[in-house]
Structure 1
């Protein structure tokens, strides 16, 4: 799966990039016909709590899935987005 990660107005650590790739690539097993994923990392207001935002878009042949989460760490937000997309994938498979 091709995973495109975009950090808006900051440089992300390699450790964070590896974490995101590890978590998002697990979605490849659930949707074998996916075309890739786009992950956007943003910091809302640096001085406030829960200021990290992760947007995760899974590009699938015929439709796209999207999740956005805000929290106190990019790792937690990424995991929450992956969990949300897993639920969307399950729902989409049941609807077919």
Structure 2
């Protein structure tokens, strides 16, 4: 699995990158043919919006792509929400293919 973590409008510290990589390693439990995962961590500078840390996850599986975007007050929270959503999408797709 090829993991690509990109940050937009800031530089991520090693602790955040390690956190993301550790969580992403759990994706193999849900699908064994994941080829690539793209993670985008962005600072969304909307003046009137409290939720300004955005996490986007793109998971590539042969013939299928999954994309999720979440925003909240912290990158960890945004990433966790997005990861849970993408796991749900992968499980649903796998159930449909098995049926």
**Is the structural similarity TM-score above 0.5?**
yes
- The aligned runs of 1:16-27 (5 Å cut-off) are 16-27=16-27
State whether structure 2 residue 72 is matched by structure 1 residue 71: yes
Q: 2:85 and 2:4 mapped to 1: Cα distance?
A: 19
RMSD of the alignment, in Å?
Answer: 1.3
Q: In structure 1, list runs of 5 or more residues that go unmatched.
A: none
Structure 1 runs of 4+ aligned residues shifted over 6 Å read: none
TM-score (ref. length: structure 1): 0.93
Q: How many residues align?
A: 96
Query: Deviations 1:38-89 (Å, cap 9, x if unpaired)?
Result: 0001111175521000110001111111110000000011111110011101
**TM-score calculated relative to the size of structure 2:** 0.90
Unmatched 5+ stretches in structure 2: none
Pairing 1:30–2:27 present: no
Give the Cα–Cα distance (whole angstroms) in 2 for the partners of residues 25 and 82 of structure 1: 11
